[in-house]
Structure 1
């Protein structure tokens, strides 16, 4: 064989061996992007939906429309009492950081229709409003009754109204309740952290999530000193819970994850006397969601974000008949604009209705009637307690968004598990027993907007992390 040909054969053989050897080498260390998102793919536990479908549905269909809706007057003004005292422990002082402050609206800044609810756009709406006003005045009660009896009836009415409520609702008639412009007080990193912030989340996880005494491992994901094996044991235990208690933990974890994404996406990057710059802090995001830095829990937290998205998405699809009624109007005083916003609202709700892989709430609280009812009540009271913990948050801006998002999630749970009929709600005739206040409506859509924004922000963080080693 000629020497040049033999040399070519030898070189070819060496090249193939080298290639085969390289293919058997261990892969390089996972990239920063894959460490956060490698497990956040495919189907979600306890659901028939996958992450990729939710990403596409939210980012291209829901998110753009929802942002336009939430910028409207009806949804940007939220009435809330940020001065309520903590019912569980003494909050010695509020956060002194200037970014913790909230600037409430002056009375003339809020549209008249929102403040007075006096604008009605049809005879039918006027009649419906009159019925509501009569009910609120307890017009059906004989005015000759004693004050004690009238007060008792009021208490019974409040009890009936709260029977399906998953939240401790503010008394919006209180002098301390004020309107806040959510667009001028955005949720973002304020610097609120340390023992006070720790105490809030620790109380939520350790005292209100369902946890038997046999489980010693802290539920609070901020707890230190937990190894990956211990985390795996915990999730094995979690999978052994009934679906309702497992879902409760996932909802709280998903809400926590969403808040952490907001803080990482609107982080104070520069703070000088002449300029403040807010933006994405990739390092902060990694600290909360990187698989290695969180000992394997980060991707699980992100999956729980998608779980809460599915829960709130299903609630919106189910409540469509309530908003489709002709007598329901978004009163701000600008008739033309209010009509446009209601049309957009219905467009979004019909869009949520069209989603093919909804969460099935009928799988909850089934079985023996008495046991199921007891579990549902326990579930409701646990979440109601969490809504009360929001009044213990020292940072006022964090308190504002914490109250809004827990009330929004609580409203979604009320829709899903209310004893009142919603989907068969009559278009005309007697008022249905199911009712949402304006405060519940505003919190419901803004809370869903926060979850939707978090999922959209994950795309931004994926792109940032792809540039890192």
Structure 2
């Protein structure tokens, strides 16, 4: 029988996700002076455990996901540079509610600070009063534990107040290496992981609970792939990655860190598999959200009188293409198998409570750019859960902040899935010699 201590499990899951941002993401290998490095060749493809994908309620094979992602990433790149999806209002200066933190970064190339947008540059139709990253219960408190799931529409009750939030252009501030390092990362890892995870939840091994852990692990892997793919800034726009169809901003380019890929991505196919599960989970949420995006495309209009601009018309076409794409129309995550389990249904309120706490923990991430992407992506997972775990006979709604976070999460995951395999061929000795990845600087 599946048994667990709910409160400890929630604390553990929240702690693990915070650690993923503070430690594993940012304590990346640093270039050292010396001759150009010879990177170890790796397999051109990471072989995934298909049995584990089945256990994660997934239907599409890794090969099907890889093939479909090539075109899907292109569509999502076009969508996420449109005004509706690229401007994200967020308060990145909120104090950590649990301990004192300070923003620390070490990368001179790709700093962790973010340039904010002038509100006057945002189309009036897209201006918002609220912090678009906020996820709150109606009374602003953490959801209480209940025995049975309730209507999940309160997954999307966002704080309607201007509390210092500013607009960020996501396309101009991509997720990637910031060089964050410092004793706080190790301290947080030791304190939270040792106290909340190592000695807890010995009986919480049921399949339903493992899905939650798998989703968080998948986000963990996605973050690391973004870091190692977008590691060395390329101000001269000379990296072959610029023309690889992976970025949504033609004015930003990076070289990958192949040493990091060979050390932290390629040797861990199980963790890459978790990314594929989170990706399919998110794609299924998008598919189930079709009506919110396609029933009335005028919601995307940014004209002064509500009319569609040329950019808006292009977005209308891209939205239609997205929901007609192969992966969105293919069977991905099987929520029916999850929801038919009594244990799965009983865990839904706990998943909600956990995600509420996780989004608040993002204010403890000590890198501004990482904090913003962390807020967006964790809210995106909460929105996906809201859509996936909602009973068919109950109606939900999605507001703009939810649509923006869900689509951007899908784009970030598509980027990671594409590069998890693409870097396998890029980060080989021969390709490095041909300039496809930047070696360490020489003295």
TM-score normalised by structure 2 residue count: 0.70
Matches within 5 A, 1:363-378: 363-368=337-342, 372-378=344-350
- Residues 107-136 of structure 1, C-alpha deviations (whole Å, 9 max, x = no match): 21211211169xxxxxxxxxxxxxxxxxxx
> Could you say which residue in structure 2 is the equivalent of 1:455?
417
2:99 maps to 1:89: yes
Q: Once superposed, what is the RMSD of the aligned Cα atoms?
A: 3.6
> Could you say which residue in structure 1 is the equivalent of 2:210?
246
Alpha-carbon shift at residue 38 of structure 1 (Å): 4.7
2:388 maps to 1:379: no
Which residue among 84, 93, 96 is the counterpart of 1:74? 84
C-alpha contact (below 8 Å) 1:166/1:410 kept by paired residues = no
C-alpha contact (below 8 Å) 1:185/1:397 kept by paired residues = yes
Q: Structure 1 residues 253, 90: closer, same or farther in 2, change over 3 A?
A: same
> Could you say which residue in structure 1 is the equivalent of 2:368?
396
> Could you say which residue in structure 2 is the equivalent of 1:54?
65
Larger Rg: 1
- Give the match's secondary structure for 1:32: coil
> Could you say which residue in structure 2 is the equivalent of 1:177?
165
Alpha-carbon shift at residue 355 of structure 1 (Å): 3.4
Q: Structure 1 residues 326, 442: closer, same or farther in 2, change over 3 A?
A: closer
Q: Structure 1 residues 330, 81: closer, same or farther in 2, change over 3 A?
A: same
Which residue among 335, 339, 343 is the counterpart of 2:308? 335
Matches within 5 A, 1:105-144: 105-115=117-127
Matches within 5 A, 1:296-311: 298-311=268-281
> Could you say which residue in structure 1 is the equivalent of 2:116?
104
Alpha-carbon shift at residue 198 of structure 1 (Å): 4.5
Alpha-carbon distance in structure 2 between the residues aligned to 1:204 and 1:285: 27
- Residues 122-177 of structure 1, C-alpha deviations (whole Å, 9 max, x = no match): xxxxxxxxxxxxxxxxxxxxxxxxxxxxxxxx8499999x9637979763632401
Alpha-carbon shift at residue 328 of structure 1 (Å): 5.7
Give the helix-richer structure, 1 or 2.
1
Alpha-carbon shift at residue 271 of structure 1 (Å): 9.6
- Give the match's secondary structure for 1:329: helix
C-alpha contact (below 8 Å) 2:105/2:181 kept by paired residues = no
C-alpha contact (below 8 Å) 2:94/2:363 kept by paired residues = yes
2:270 maps to 1:260: no
> Could you say which residue in structure 2 is the equivalent of 1:127?
none
> Could you say which residue in structure 1 is the equivalent of 2:379?
407
Alpha-carbon distance in structure 2 between the residues aligned to 1:203 and 1:445: 34
Name structure 1 gaps, 5 residues minimum: 1-30, 118-153, 216-236, 292-297, 423-432
Q: Structure 1 residues 340, 208: closer, same or farther in 2, change over 3 A?
A: farther
C-alpha contact (below 8 Å) 1:208/1:382 kept by paired residues = no
Alpha-carbon shift at residue 362 of structure 1 (Å): 1.4
Q: Structure 1 residues 182, 363: closer, same or farther in 2, change over 3 A?
A: same
- Residues 305-346 of structure 1, C-alpha deviations (whole Å, 9 max, x = no match): 111110001001111122232376113226133243133213
Alpha-carbon shift at residue 189 of structure 1 (Å): 0.4
- Residues 264-300 of structure 1, C-alpha deviations (whole Å, 9 max, x = no match): 011136899xxx9831110011221242xxxxxx111
Alpha-carbon distance in structure 1 between the residues aligned to 2:155 and 2:184: 22
Q: Structure 1 residues 345, 325: closer, same or farther in 2, change over 3 A?
A: same
C-alpha contact (below 8 Å) 1:204/1:386 kept by paired residues = no
2:200 maps to 1:213: yes
C-alpha contact (below 8 Å) 1:166/1:383 kept by paired residues = no
